[in-house]
Structure 1
Amino acid sequence: MSRPPLPPFTDETAAQKARMAEDAWNSRDPARVALAYTPDSRWRNRAEFVTGRDAIVALLTRKWARELDYRLVKQVWAHAGNRIAVRFAYEYHDDSNNWFRAYGNENWQFDADGLMEIRIASINEHPIDQADRRLLWPEGPRPVDYPDLTALGL
């Protein structure tokens, strides 16, 4: 299975890859997200280490069961060859309607078919007031004209 754009990445194709990942994550569909990864993909997500698509689906299913009204923005930080580094921010609330914003960095490595084989994520979060939210579009992909992280001051 091929998942263009393929490495080596240019500024344009790295940004396209990041936006495709952002749109998939904003779907909150674990099975859809998992298809962008190799069958034996390795993840570090906070303090959790998982391998393979089934484990990715399980992690994301747990994540989105507790992170409600999730909205995410990813932005390329750097790229070279088959690797892309992105920074991101996302907002969500828990089942008690407490809001949070998380920030982080991800390091991605892709195989020749454009599937991600390694994802290393470092994430920090803090509580926010609902009035301080900045990621306010309707559920689904971020609209094309919605500001990126830099424009949002994040």
Structure 2
Amino acid sequence: MPSRPPVPPFTHESAVEKVLRAENGWNSRDPEKVALAYSPDSEWRNRAEFLHGRERIVEFLTRKWNQEKDYRLIKELWAFGGNRIAVRFAYEFHDNSGNWYRSYGNENWEFDEDGLMRRRIASINDLGISESERKFFWPLGPRPADHPGLSELGL
């Protein structure tokens, strides 16, 4: 199986790189591409939903991005050690009725020796916002390097 650098054990620099790569992948909103960052037998807890394996990840992400329109995500490294990384994140989207939300959360990640994520545990809370309260403005796709992160935005 091909490796997915950076691989553990993580340094601060490699953990930051891993987080940015994950953010960019999710901002692509391409379920097949995103799923390749996870081990074939990856285990997830996303809110109260439990998933096992890439096929379920693709199904989950397809459903997610069909419901969450104009999705934009920012992730920030919280802690790291060995083969684990903890992140905090926020994302904004609107539903099919045009209602805007900002979702806040934390994720705990565990990687195999090839740098594929074998476990993802996500806790997420949603906050309804008005369109005027949005903070994530960039063309769909990766966040531009000059766009502020969570800390800079006061989130």
The TM-score with structure 2 as length reference comes to 0.99
Q: Displacement of 1:126 after TM fit?
A: 1.0
Q: Hey, what's the Cα distance between the residues in 2 that align with 1:5 and 1:87?
A: 19
1:44-103 Cα shifts (integer Å, max 9, x gaps): 001100000000000000000000000000000000000000000000000111000000
Matched residues, percent identical? Answer: 65
Residue matched to 2:123: 122
| Matching residue's letter, 1:61 | T
Q: Hey, what's the Cα distance between the residues in 1 that align with 2:12 and 2:148?
A: 19
The TM-score with structure 1 as length reference comes to 0.99
Residue matched to 1:139: 140
Residue matched to 1:44: 45
3-state SS, counterpart of residue 144 of structure 2: coil
Runs of 4 or more, structure 1, over 3 Å off, are none
Residue matched to 1:10: 11
Residue matched to 2:109: 108
> Mind listing any 5+ residue stretches in structure 1 that lack a counterpart?
none
3-state SS, counterpart of residue 151 of structure 1: coil
| Matching residue's letter, 2:43 | R
Residue matched to 2:89: 88
Q: Hey, what's the Cα distance between the residues in 2 that align with 1:36 and 1:18?
A: 12
Residue matched to 2:76: 75
3-state SS, counterpart of residue 16 of structure 1: helix
Q: Displacement of 1:145 after TM fit?
A: 1.1
Q: Displacement of 1:18 after TM fit?
A: 0.3
